[in-house]
Amino acid sequence: MEISNNTPHKHYAICKPYGFISQFITNEKKKKKNHKFLGELGEFPEGTMAIGRLDRDSEGLLLLTTDGKKSYFILSSKVEKEYHVQVDGILTNVAIEKLKQGVTITVDGTDYITKPCKVSIVEKDPDLLPKRSKKIRDERHGPTSWISITLREGKFRQVRKMTAAVGFPTLRLLRVRIGKIYLNRMQAGEVIELDEHFEI
């Protein structure tokens, strides 16, 4: 349900923490399972909704709005979404090229070939990453590497399925950009109110 047309719409950028579900409305069954929801991160007006989703195990930038039309526009415009992904092992150039060109993943029980995307190696300083409630295994269990993947699509758990398809399972997934909006140094659970006319 949207707020009244007489009330200015509100828009937010949040850093979704690990373990949270990208929803506001809960039911008693979910509450009993001790799920964590976005409403626990602050006081949001009635009708606030997430623009798109991040699965429970993923972290990073998520946009919220009370404006259903703006949500629809952003979702339908196929804006770029950039993810920084920690994978198990040292990613090879061959794997990177496969990811760029498109790999076969399973979506709703059928094979799907991902669209070409941007992929590159990135360096990450662990001290600058949002704090995470569940630690990632350390280097004693083998090396890891970080990559940037930029997509204009968003199938369920797509990035995780893509890295697994080339033999490098995802250990940590952090969305760092949606269009022109960046996560920057936001920490887990942080909420920033956006200007009414923010550009995407």
User: Closest Cα to residue 23, out of 4, 8, 39?
Assistant: 39
pLDDT band (50, 70, 90) for residue 133: confident
Separation CA 69–CA 180 (nearest Å): 19
User: Closest Cα to residue 15, out of 75, 80, 63?
Assistant: 63
Q: Are 15 and 189 in contact, with CB atoms under 8 Å apart? A: yes
- Whether residue 92 is found in the same domain as residue 69: no
Instruction: Report the mean per-residue pLDDT for the chain.
Output: 91
What does the pLDDT look like over 174-198, one tens digit per residue? 999 999 999 999 999 999 999 988 8
- Whether residue 172 is found in the same domain as residue 85: yes
- The predicted model scores a pTM of 0.91
Tell me, yes or no, if 57 is annotated catalytic: no
User: Closest Cα to residue 86, out of 17, 3, 170, 160?
Assistant: 170
What does the pLDDT look like over 13-57, one tens digit per residue? 999 999 999 998 655 555 656 789 999 999 999 999 999 999 999
Tell me the range of 5-19, 34-48, 80-94, 127-141 where mean pLDDT is highest.
80-94
Q: In the prediction, which pLDDT does 32 show?
A: 53
In Å, how far are 5, 16, 126, 129, 174 from 132, measured between CA atoms?
A: 38, 10, 11, 9, 11
- Whether residue 85 is found in the same domain as residue 156: yes
Q: Please check whether residue 2 lies inside any domain of the structure.
A: no
Query: Per the structure, how many domains does the chain have?
Result: 2
Catalytic residue among 55, 67, 111, 138: 55
Q: Please check whether residue 6 lies inside any domain of the structure.
A: no
